[in-house]
């Protein structure tokens, strides 16, 4: 058994401690026998009854099983035994403690042996000296020794110590494991949270090199996912913006197509019906150009300049807008010279002019009969396109904001029409602004420079 050497060593220590106690008790007993008021001790008087009486009174007997007082010749002068205490025969005592050796060496031990009662006993012998250090006799102290009980007690103590040591070791191991696993648990929790979308989360790069490498790998993954999330978010924003622009640019032509198809279906005059069908084809071409433009470019607005007669563009705008004006009860007046040729992107300028005119018709139609006037005015350095209406107008504090993207002052508006119009004129090197109209509503003044300028 693993604890047997420990128990044996403890047993030896217990036997040695018992031997020292027995020697001490024997010396104390001998000193008490020669004590008293008379300088002559009871041993000197040689009265066995007096020695026996003094021996019976010794308080140290409470811890002994047998006490003997021997004369220098080796005979028993007095003896005291506990009720159930074991005894040793005189021959055994004298064999273990010869008087001459005890008197010369001042003490001797009786090795553990079997007593008269069958129990294992151990004893100590010390000389009894007078005041002048003369030997008067020998005191023998004997005590029962239960080595089985000592072994069991030591075994219990050893087992308890082992259990305590095991418990402490277990606690230390648990603490060490928790200390080592704490960074792993932190990294695991952080990885789970990163997987759930918390890409800005970072873990501490501490602990052993392996854990630091794992923490750096998790942080690198989180940084990569965060960058990808930002890139995807930016791309989605561009896609949403592009989808909004395309939806706005396609909506007006579709509305015009619907109205033109209705008019063509009910028109009985063949020339007029043919003119309406031609307008339908032109609107389809406008839709095709819008789609192609957005397929070709997703960045800044690109223009393709050609020699364009703005009078023709205004006529196309009139063909598309007049059915809408008639339906809304709005009088549409076009004022333009005989010819006005410029190097512009005709498709973009037409879409910008349509947006301005259709917006004016919509606001003028809020309180019919309404009025909208479109004026094309060539000048030396620029050509002005002025659209007036008699609608509710634009408050002064909103005249700059209406050209901002996604800002709209009308219910259901997308806030894209006027921002696209401004981009068209700005890209051509011109401008657009909003003022109060002489008709009482809003006036939009757009300028296209005569010389080629691009922004």
DSSP symbols for 63-116:
G-SEEEEE-TTS-EEEEEE-SS-----HHHHHHHS-HHHHHHHS-EEEEEEE-T
Average pLDDT of the residues in 54-83: 74
Mean of all residue pLDDT scores within the chain: 77
Q: For 111-132, write each residue's pLDDT tens digit.
A: 666 666 666 777 888 888 777 7
Cβ neighbours around 55 below 10 Å, total: 21
Would you state the pLDDT for residue 2?
Answer: 47
What is the CATH architecture assignment of 301-455? Answer: 2-Layer Sandwich (3.30)
Report for 119-123, 428-432, 449-453: range of highest mean pLDDT: 428-432
pLDDT band at 435 (very low <50, low <70, confident <90, very high): very high
Domain ranges of the chain: 4-145, 301-455
Would you state the pLDDT for residue 357?
Answer: 93
% the chain with pLDDT above 90 = 13
Dihedral sign computed on CA atoms, order 372, 376, 377, 383: positive
% the chain with pLDDT above 70 = 73
* Alpha carbon separation from 314 to 321, 350, 423 (Å, rounded): 10, 7, 19
pLDDT band at 372 (very low <50, low <70, confident <90, very high): very high
Q: Please tell me the class of the 4-145 domain.
A: alpha beta
Nearest to 253 by CA among 168, 179, 358, 173: 358
C-beta of residue 30 within 8 angstroms of C-beta of residue 126? yes
User: Tokens standing for 320?
Assistant: 């598309």
Q: For 299-347, write each residue's pLDDT tens digit.
A: 556 778 889 899 999 988 888 888 889 988 999 999 988 888 899 988 8
User: Tokens standing for 360?
Assistant: 């004016």
Look up tokens 């757009």; give the residue: 446
Q: For 385-417, write each residue's pLDDT tens digit.
A: 999 999 999 999 888 888 887 777 666 566 677
Q: For 229-288, write each residue's pLDDT tens digit.
A: 777 776 666 566 666 666 666 666 776 777 777 777 777 788 877 777 777 777 777 766
pLDDT band at 16 (very low <50, low <70, confident <90, very high): confident
């Amino acid at each position: 058994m693993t604890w047997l050497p420990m128990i044996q060593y403890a047993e030896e220590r217990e036997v040695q401690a018992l031997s020292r106690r027995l020697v001490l008790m024997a010396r104390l007993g001998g000193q008490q026998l020669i004590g008293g008021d008379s300088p002559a001790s009871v041993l000197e008087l040689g009265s066995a009854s007096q020695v026996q009486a003094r021996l019976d009174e010794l308080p140290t007997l409470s811890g002994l099983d047998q006490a003997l007082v021997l004369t220098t010749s080796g005979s028993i002068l007095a003896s005291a035994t506990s009720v159930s205490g074991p005894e040793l025969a005189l021959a055994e005592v004298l064999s273990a403690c010869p008087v001459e050796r005890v008197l010369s060496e001042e003490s001797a031990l009786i090795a553990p042996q079997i007593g008269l009662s069958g129990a294992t006993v151990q004893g100590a012998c010390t000389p009894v000296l007078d005041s002048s250090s003369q030997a008067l006799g020998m005191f023998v102290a004997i005590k029962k020794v239960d080595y089985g009980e000592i072994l069991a007690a030591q075994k219990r103590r050893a087992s308890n110590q082992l259990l305590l040591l095991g418990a402490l070791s277990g606690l230390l191991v648990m603490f060490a494991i928790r200390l080592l696993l704490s960074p792993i648990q932190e990294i695991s929790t952080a990885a789970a949270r990163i997987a759930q979308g918390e890409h800005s989360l970072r873990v501490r790069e501490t602990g052993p090199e392996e854990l630091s490498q794992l923490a750096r790998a998790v942080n690198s993954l989180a940084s990569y996912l965060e960058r990808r999330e930002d890139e995807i978010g930016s791309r989605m924003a561009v896609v949403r913006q592009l989808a909004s622009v395309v939806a706005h640019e396609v909506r007006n032509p579709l509305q015009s197509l619907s109205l033109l198809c209705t008019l063509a279906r009910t028109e009985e005059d063949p020339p007029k019906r043919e003119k309406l069908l031609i307008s339908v084809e032109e609107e389809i071409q406008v839709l095709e150009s819008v789609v192609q433009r957005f397929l070709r470019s997703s960045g800044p607005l690109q223009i393709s300049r050609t020699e364009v007669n703005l009078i023709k563009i205004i006529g196309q705008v009139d063909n598309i807008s007049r059915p809408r004006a008639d339906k809304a009860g709005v009088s549409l007046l076009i004022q333009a010279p005989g010819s006005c040729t410029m190097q512009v992107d005709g498709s973009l300028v037409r879409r910008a002019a349509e947006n301005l005119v259709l917006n004016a018709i919509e606001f003028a139609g809020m309180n019919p009969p309404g009025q909208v006037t479109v004026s094309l005015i060539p000048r030396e350095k620029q050509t002005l396109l002025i659209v007036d209406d008699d609608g509710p107008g634009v408050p002064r504090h909103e005249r700059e904001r209406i050209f901002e993207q996604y800002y709209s002052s009308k219910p259901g508006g997308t806030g894209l029409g006027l921002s696209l119009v401004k981009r068209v004129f700005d890209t051509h090197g011109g401008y657009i602004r909003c003022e109060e109209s002489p008709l009482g509503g809003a006036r939009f003044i757009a300028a296209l420079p005569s010389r080629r300028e691009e922004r």
